[in-house]
Amino acid sequence: MAKLHPEKFIWLDGKLVAWDEAHVHILTHTLHYGLGAFEGIRAYELSGDTTQGAVFRLTEHIDRLMASSKLCLINVPYSREQLIAACVETLRQNNLRNAYLRPLVFLGDGEMGLGATKMAVRVAIATYVWGSYLGDEGIKNGIRAKVSTFARSQQSALLKAKVCGQYVNSVLAKREVVLAGYDEAIMLDSSGYVAEASGENIFAVIRGRLVTPPLSAAILEGITRDSVLTIAADLGIPCDEKQLSRDQLYLADEVFLTGTAAEITPVREIDDRSIGAGKTGPITQKLQEIFFQTVRGQQQSYARWLTPIQ
């Protein structure tokens, strides 16, 4: 994974501070217990104009940050409009166009213990350059995935929220499969149905139809998932939101992952079984093509998803 390159500023509690001065106290509550919410958002340089950039589905990401905070019983001391403006301002001041944005709502220091309630609610927004999460080669030719022994459980987590501490489950799954030589972990739910990948939603193509687990499944309501469902419907590709079993995935004609970081990444192999022809399939390729045109402003019909940076 590429090393993080520092930028000029990070937005912290309402103002831009120097990158190296965005510190927290060691007794920051969220650092110990994981109650906090975050987002991952991407901005892209617009095609044909290297001076212009836009954030992809910024409003939806900030709305999800607010929803995650609500699920954690955290009152965010800024409005969604203030946070949207702060994201754009941070990108602007860092002179970034192709970038990743990481807003974080966290509980400050001053009180410890699981029952503590008096900590300040703090908000940070970092922006930085981040390439393809699963590699350029992965985006083009597909990755090798493995089903993790760690499961997604709706009984012990609020999976519609991007809660900091919940990501231990994802990190353990990811580490497990990377140590075994694979690129990404696929996670089942506690009944054995396919849920999602460690940080992505999952789609299969079965006999010309897209299949993805429904929102009631043990998954995050991915914004890229929603974008792909919208694009697929507009292309006339039929889609079923329904339960998928592990063997249905193995036998699918195509499988791909969707996420802000991973964008649309084909899966060419799962648990040592090649998927379809073992390379990026035609439906995955078509969806990738429209998606990348969309985020770079080349698809007028989805212009509503872009917030200009300048």
Where would I find the H helices in 21-166? 29-33, 58-71, 80-93, 136-141
Are residues 222 and 258 in contact, defined by beta-carbon separation less than 8 angstroms?
yes
Of 13 and 226, the one with the shorter C-beta distance to ligand PMP is: 226
| One residue of 69, 94, 201, 288 binding ligand PMP per CB under 6 A | 201
| One residue of 28, 148, 258, 288 binding ligand PMP per CB under 6 A | 258
Give the integer Cα–Cα distance in Å for 223 and 162: 12
| One residue of 45, 196, 254, 269 binding ligand PMP per CB under 6 A | 196
Residue that is written with structure tokens 């699981």 in the block: 114
| One residue of 103, 138, 142, 259 binding ligand PMP per CB under 6 A | 259
| One residue of 199, 213, 266, 276 binding ligand PMP per CB under 6 A | 199
Question: Counting contacts by CB under 6 A, is residue 103 touching ligand PMP?
Answer: no
Residue 8 carries which DSSP code? S
| One residue of 36, 103, 222, 281 binding ligand PMP per CB under 6 A | 222
H or E stretch including 203? strand 201-206
Question: Counting contacts by CB under 6 A, is residue 294 touching ligand PMP?
Answer: no
| One residue of 224, 284, 288, 294 binding ligand PMP per CB under 6 A | 224
Kindly determine how many residues on this chain lie close enough to bind ligand PMP according to the rule CB under 6 A.
14
Question: Counting contacts by CB under 6 A, is residue 212 touching ligand PMP?
Answer: no
Question: Counting contacts by CB under 6 A, is residue 223 touching ligand PMP?
Answer: yes
The residue range among 43-51, 195-203, 239-247, 289-297 that interacts with ligand PMP, by the rule CB under 6 A, is: 195-203
Are residues 171 and 185 in contact, defined by beta-carbon separation less than 8 angstroms?
no
Of 258 and 284, the one with the shorter C-beta distance to ligand PMP is: 258
CB atoms within 10 A of CB 190: 13
Give the integer Cα–Cα distance in Å for 205 and 249: 9
Give the integer Cα–Cα distance in Å for 172 and 218: 17
3-state secondary structure of 103: strand
Q: Which residues have a catalytic role annotated?
A: 162
The residue range among 105-113, 217-225, 279-287, 293-301 that interacts with ligand PMP, by the rule CB under 6 A, is: 217-225
Question: Counting contacts by CB under 6 A, is residue 68 touching ligand PMP?
Answer: no
Binding to ligand PMP, residues 34-53 (CB under 6 A): 40
Sign of CA dihedral 240, 245, 248, 254: positive
Where would I find the H helices in 154-297? 167-179, 223-235, 246-250, 282-295
Q: Burial of 263 by CB count in 10 Å (0-12 exposed, 13-18 middle, 19+ buried)? A: buried
Q: Would you tell me which residues interact with ligand PMP (CB under 6 A)?
A: 40, 170, 196, 199-201, 220, 222-225, 258-260
